[in-house]
Amino acid sequence: MNPKRIPLPLLFGNPVKASPKISPDGKRLAFLAPDEGVLNLWVMDAAADPSAAKPVTRDRGRGVRSYFWAEDRRSLIYLQDKDGDENWHLHQVELETATTRDLTPHPGTQAHILATDPKFPDVLLASMNLRDKRLHDVYRIDLRSGKASLTAENPGDVIGWLADAELRPRAAKASLPNGGGELRVRDDDSSPWRALLRWGPDDTVGAHGFTGDGKGLYVESDIDGDTTALLEMNAATGSARELFRHPQVDVGPVLLHPTTYALQAVGHELERLRWEVLDPALGDDFKALENLAEGDFYIVGRDDGDRVWVVLDQSDRRPARYFLYDRETRKSKFLFSTRPALEDYALAEMRPVAIRARDGLTLRAYLSLPPGVPARGLPLVLNVHGGPWVRDRWGYNPEAQWLANRGWAVLQVNYRGSTGYGKKFLHAGDREWGAKMQDDLTDAVRWAVAEGIADPRRVAIYGGSYGGYAALAGAAFTPDVYACAVDIVGPSNLETLIRSIPPYWEPLKREFALRVGDVDKEPGFLRSRSPLFAVDRIRIPLLIAQGANDPRVKQAESEQIVAALRAGGREVEYLLFPDEGHGFARPENRLRFHEKAETFLAKHL
């Protein structure tokens, strides 16, 4: 029996409500919800029903998607760019006066929030590439006057900053010429920087924060192993003690106390999220949340008193649900479902599976099958994640639900080069764009066919960003595997992709040279891995979609392969969205794209 058809607006329109955050004093709750069809910030009393909330912003463009409470308890800060150009500005909303101002009003400049602390309620730290478009410096912004003052200047190689509990930028992650990196620290704002830790191009190192006393750093590192370990490192001596390591996967989410910054829990994710509680005081709380959640739970917000938590319950067969959890009573209050209308539909299970690649590597993947339909000889959509240096995860996925609801099996593969499975798996993807990374996708399709799940004549490859590249590469390099391909903001020529990267990615250029190919020394190699130069091998129909303002994968990446396909008489449909960037934020654009993609897939599968 086929499931009831889910209307596209329920999947790809705006959520009814989303992303709740508790205020620092625990008295108010903010969340995102549509106002005149555009996502805006709403605020309510934390004890009230969400229906009592009122909008406090009036965005009429792409909507608000990322925000946080300021520690002054009077204002909210949200990030916004212009039509997808990723030049993020920090906007402050004064709740009492309902006024909004741009704290970083500099055209062509990108800002990111670094830190706040309740001891400094009227100050925040942000990074901006105001002085040099290639480099982000640290600025201290006064929330009363709006004045920004330069606090730490980037020497030319820093790609990330970290502040201590006194709101001093005291750690910096630098990119070295050999493709490795260096973690630098200093004692205070006037002290010189010194190297605390250095690593090579095959290692992964990151810092999660300072300890409350500022004497230590929580560092994640795989220097001494395959998977990353969570370490507490002495900021003066560099000595470290290991706090957690999983033998199969890297460190997942890390939970620090909101004001003491003590490490309390760490997650790991082989197939689904699992928590290791390191602070015994949280043991009963996590047991209560395990009983509450139908799926995997995340603590996405806490008040400064650490009495009220905002908890996300992430399941595969329901949209995201949020709860307020009271630590004193250990009782939970349901806040809302992001898409309550979907509760009336049968959603697909997302099943973790392990697939063996042709060279013996184990690929972790997720399979979603149409509910109520025998899993035999189905059309299959291979949905390839972007990045590529990220990973697919278990949980509610609107595209998997859409495709499965239409009767198609959906396979999402963490191919080599995906993160989270250790450095051997990550670097197995080095210089393998269009080669072994693509072989993993082919092997996943062959697995689904061998299992009897997929009809080999009805397989589509679909993806965005790197997934869009993989769709083009599948069409060009393995045209017999797929019946059609859908590319969303995917590069077609790796040489022009790397040469046109944004200025603020310049310190990471060496990483691209090592993991993809050196654009200056081996342009021929990059062209050999570029679908544009194998366009004569493409025999299957394509759908290509692009945002005109995309700063990462420029419009030319799509248009050059569309022109080449049309010149060769090949079948290609092209959608250009003039008010989008690297992906589609406006609901009307998401709906238009998915309507077109559904018609395209139905025709060819």
518 forms bridges with which residues in the sheet?
none
CA distances from 209 to 221, 255, 465, 543 (A): 14, 11, 30, 43
Beta-carbon count within 10 A of 279 CB: 14
Out of 271, 304, 319, a domain closes at 271
Out of 271, 293, 317, a domain closes at 271
116 in a domain, yes or no? no
Question: Domain check: are 260 and 353 in the same one?
Answer: no
Residue 198 burial by Cβ neighbours in a 10 Å radius (0-12, 13-18, 19+): middle
CA distances from 315 to 167, 233, 292, 460 (A): 37, 36, 12, 26
- For residue 550, which of 596, 475, 500, 492 has the smallest C-alpha distance? 500
How many domains in the chain? 2
CA distances from 564 to 468, 484, 520, 535, 569 (A): 17, 17, 25, 7, 9
Question: Is residue 604 among the annotated active site residues?
Answer: no
pLDDT tens-digit series, residues 456-478:
999 999 999 999 999 999 999 99
**CA–CA–CA angle 360, 366, 370 (5° rounding):** 130
Question: Domain check: are 265 and 378 in the same one?
Answer: no
DSSP-derived pairing of the beta strands 296-302 and 216-221: unpaired
Q: What is the mean pLDDT of residues 64-93?
A: 95
Q: How many helices (H) and strands (E) does the chain have?
A: 11, 35
35 in a domain, yes or no? no
Q: How confident is the model at residue 494 (pLDDT cuts 50, 70, 90)?
A: very high
535 in a domain, yes or no? yes
Please identify which of the residues 127, 175, 418, 465 carries the catalytic annotation.
465
In 3-state terms, what secondary structure has residue 272?
coil
- For residue 531, which of 479, 456, 596, 464 has the smallest C-alpha distance? 479
| CATH number, domain containing residue 469 | 3.40.50.1820
Please identify which of the residues 550, 558, 594, 604 carries the catalytic annotation.
550
pLDDT tens-digit series, residues 170-209:
999 999 998 999 999 999 999 999 999 999 999 999 999 9
Q: What is the mean pLDDT of residues 539-547?
A: 98
Question: Domain check: are 378 and 245 in the same one?
Answer: no
Question: Domain check: are 446 and 579 in the same one?
Answer: yes
| CATH number, domain containing residue 262 | 2.120.10.30
CA distances from 96 to 26, 71, 123, 177, 579 (A): 17, 15, 18, 50, 32
Q: What is the mean pLDDT of residues 289-314?
A: 97
99 in a domain, yes or no? no
Average pLDDT, the chain: 96
Strand order across the beta sheet in which 409-414 lies? 350-356, 362-368, 409-414, 378-384, 454-464, 484-488, 542-547, 572-577
Question: Domain check: are 240 and 386 in the same one?
Answer: no
Question: Domain check: are 387 and 263 in the same one?
Answer: no
Please identify which of the residues 208, 246, 268, 582 carries the catalytic annotation.
582
Q: How confident is the model at residue 150 (pLDDT cuts 50, 70, 90)?
A: very high
Beta-carbon count within 10 A of 150 CB: 12
36 in a domain, yes or no? no
Out of 271, 303, 322, a domain closes at 271
Q: What is the mean pLDDT of residues 403-431?
A: 98
Asked if 2 and 392 count as a contact pair (C-beta separation under 8 A), the reply is: no
| pLDDT at residue 1 in the model | 56
- pLDDT over 90 (residue 249): yes
Domain, as residue range, for 510: 349-604
- CA 16 to CA 604: how far, in whole Å? 33
Question: Domain check: are 263 and 366 in the same one?
Answer: no
DSSP-derived pairing of the beta strands 75-80 and 89-94: antiparallel
- pLDDT over 70 (residue 428): yes
Q: What is the mean pLDDT of residues 37-43?
A: 96
Question: Domain check: are 391 and 527 in the same one?
Answer: yes
For the chain, what is the largest distance between any 2 Cα atoms, rounded to a whole number of angstroms? 70
Asked if 476 and 538 count as a contact pair (C-beta separation under 8 A), the reply is: yes
CA distances from 582 to 91, 158, 585 (A): 22, 24, 9
Q: How confident is the model at residue 506 (pLDDT cuts 50, 70, 90)?
A: confident
302 in a domain, yes or no? no
pLDDT tens-digit series, residues 22-36:
999 999 999 999 999
- For residue 6, which of 366, 432, 396, 277 has the smallest C-alpha distance? 396
Question: Is residue 582 among the annotated active site residues?
Answer: yes
| pLDDT at residue 333 in the model | 95
379 in a domain, yes or no? yes
| pLDDT at residue 505 in the model | 87
Question: Domain check: are 252 and 394 in the same one?
Answer: no
Radius of gyration of the chain (CA): 24
Question: Domain check: are 267 and 357 in the same one?
Answer: no
32 in a domain, yes or no? no
**CA–CA–CA angle 438, 441, 442 (5° rounding):** 90
Question: Domain check: are 254 and 370 in the same one?
Answer: no
Question: Domain check: are 254 and 378 in the same one?
Answer: no
